[in-house]
Chain A
């Protein structure tokens, strides 16, 4: 896998080299190389069981890798037990000590390292997460959001080189989750510590992280900045797992300059060569992808007004759901069933109702091409809660 960027100070780098984990016959993580640069907010994104938590636990020292090494900066920590690693974790469902109050929970790490005067530090830390008033309460007396902040404070007070977050927002309701995402991002910017964040929520990963690694079946599928991953997915899994993609099977027809011309059904689609990761021999199959919000919808009667040079597909509206800011259409086309189109509700065309004949059109530059040998449905998930 690729290095992201390199800043001058690298003591907070996390470097995984050839790290893997097998349980009996099952491989949870295939040999993996990954570097997380100092000070970045890095997200490991994937469905449950993809190996992201195992990877995180190997960095924390809670899981011993079957092969490979873990480096923090220049220090090899592969064989160090968790209590000797300058790394702290915000656990899934927080793992706050139920028998200790908030103050003692936060002071736990300091006390274990033999620091005597912890009062000032703990109070400052509780202020940072806005829990100064709650210091003497027990964890079960706090709300979910407050518990979450205690878990962050308890880890951060130790000034770890890396903070690991294992689905830290999974137990919160949607509104609180959005709020905590911004809060965590603020804290990260403030303290400047490397954050490695494990989540199954693609929106969360994209909102918070500088760099996202999408994991699937124990491997990293693709790594990059959120916008880059979204606009240029390199596999069907990434295309489907991050947001929604329309994937259309097509056949390579001709090449003209920097573009590839493809045949899909009766029509032709244009795809920039640079945005295609698949081999493109004439007659070969390619999956043509386009995001639903890039597609414009025109009633069949207005087909003549569509500018030249845009990709177009005809179809029938199968379903339309109004969700406020936008309307989501499902369109059946001879080329591909169930295409998704998201249209902003600026000027709503009253003719666009189920049953209407429509033309879908989008700029070729918004098209991407994927290897057709893959499972076209990989990464499509049940709606995450």
Chain B
């Protein structure tokens, strides 16, 4: 009875931790298997411990090229989508204009559309226009689907911003440009950064839309997809593990820094 009561009281914690385990299990497997030395072409069964892949992460032809390409595309897509998206967000929050409803739906629809539909229709456009598939078509597609997410992230931040702050800047002799640069932009910065981060992650990890519109160009997800058919090199796990670790470390360091800064000031 005592045990049942304990279970009842801690049900949320137990169930929550189970879900967390479910979320993290594949990452654990990816990490463990980055030290595997598989027998055949596929890295699905444990054979024996080896650090070969870690010492030679670019040892598989095409892997690091695809990684570089993905990073490049993600960077450009993030830049463009953040710029265009932030502009839309400012217009939506700060101005009144005609056809606001239509604008909102044009921004909302790409997020409510299965990727495969967008991917297929974009491919029809490119085929009809006779546009060569490759780097540029991937970039165009990525900017398109990242845009809406940036708008949402920036809009949320700008909306929660007190309009009196901008009025105060104007009252204190800052013209429109100065007001934007000195007050609006710095305060909206966290929202813009969040949007940019989201765009980067979405673009870097995108597979379905890229799969349709890449032609013979190979991004990192495309490389992984291809290797799932032909044989999975251990180096894929190395890259996956490294990205996970780097991401967690970056977040932890930035949290530590902001914590320390707050403590110093308090």
- Identify the A interface with B (CB < 8 A): 60-62, 81-84, 87-89, 91-93, 95-99, 108-109, 112-113, 136-138, 141, 154-155, 158
Residues of A within 8 A of B179 (CB): 83
Complex interface: chain B residues within 8 A of A138 (CB): 265
Instruction: Knowing that A81-B175, A91-B167, A96-B168 touch, tell me 8 more A-B residue pairs with CB under 8 angstroms.
Output: A61-B170, A87-B171, A89-B168, A89-B171, A108-B169, A138-B265, A154-B172, A158-B172
**Contact A93 B164, beta carbon cutoff 8 Å:** yes
Name the residue among A60, A84, A89, A113 with the largest chain B CB count within 10 angstroms.
A89
* Chain A CB within 8 A of B64 CB: no
Q: Is B265 within 8 A of A137, CB to CB?
A: yes
Shortest beta-carbon distance, A299 to chain B, in Å?
A: 56
Nearest CB of B to A91, in Å: 5
- Among candidates B170, B186, B266, residue contacting A62 with C-beta atoms closer than 8 Å: B170
Which residues 157-174 of B sit at the A interface, judged by CB distance below 8 A? Answer: 162, 164-165, 167-174
- On chain B, the residues within 8 Å of A87 by CB distance are 171
Q: Mark B160-197, 1 if CB is under 8 A from A, else 0.
A: 00101101111111110011001100110100000000
Contact (A141, B167) CB under 8 Å given A83-B175, A99-B186, A99-B187: no
Q: Contact at B178–A112, with CB atoms within 8 Å?
A: yes
Q: What are the residues of chain B within 8 A of A93 when measuring CB–CB? A: 162, 164
Are A81 and B265 in contact, CB atoms less than 8 angstroms apart?
no
Chain A residue with minimal CB distance to B164? A95
A98–B179 Cα gap in the complex (Å)?
Answer: 14
- B175: chain A residues at CB < 8 Å are 81, 83
Q: How far is the CA of A375 from the CA of B237 in the complex (A)?
A: 81
Residue of B nearest to A87 (CB): B171
> Does B172 lie within 8 Å of A108, measured CB to CB?
yes
Assess the A82–B170 pair: CB atoms within 8 A.
yes
For chain B, residues 3 to 22, give those with C-beta under 8 angstroms from any C-beta of chain A: none
> Separation in Å of the B26 CB from the closest CB of chain A?
40
Cross-chain contact of B168 among A61, A84, A91, A137 (Cβ < 8 A):
A91
Scoring A108, A113, A136 by chain B CB atoms within 10 A of each residue's CB, the highest score goes to: A108
A97 close to B165 (CB less than 8 A): yes
- Which of A81, A92, A141, A155 contacts B170 (CB under 8 A)? A81
Chain A residues near B266 (CB-CB < 8 A): 141
Shortest Cβ gap from B209 to chain A (Å): 36
B172 touches A109 (CB 8 A): yes
CA distance A158 to B173 in the complex (A): 9
Contacts A/B (CB < 8 Å), 13 sampled: A62-B171, A81-B175, A83-B170, A83-B171, A91-B171, A95-B162, A95-B164, A95-B165, A97-B168, A98-B187, A112-B182, A155-B172, A158-B172
In Å, the complex CA distance between A45 and B55 comes to 76
The residue on A at minimum CB distance from B174 is A112
Cα distance A96–B265 in the bound complex, in angstroms: 18
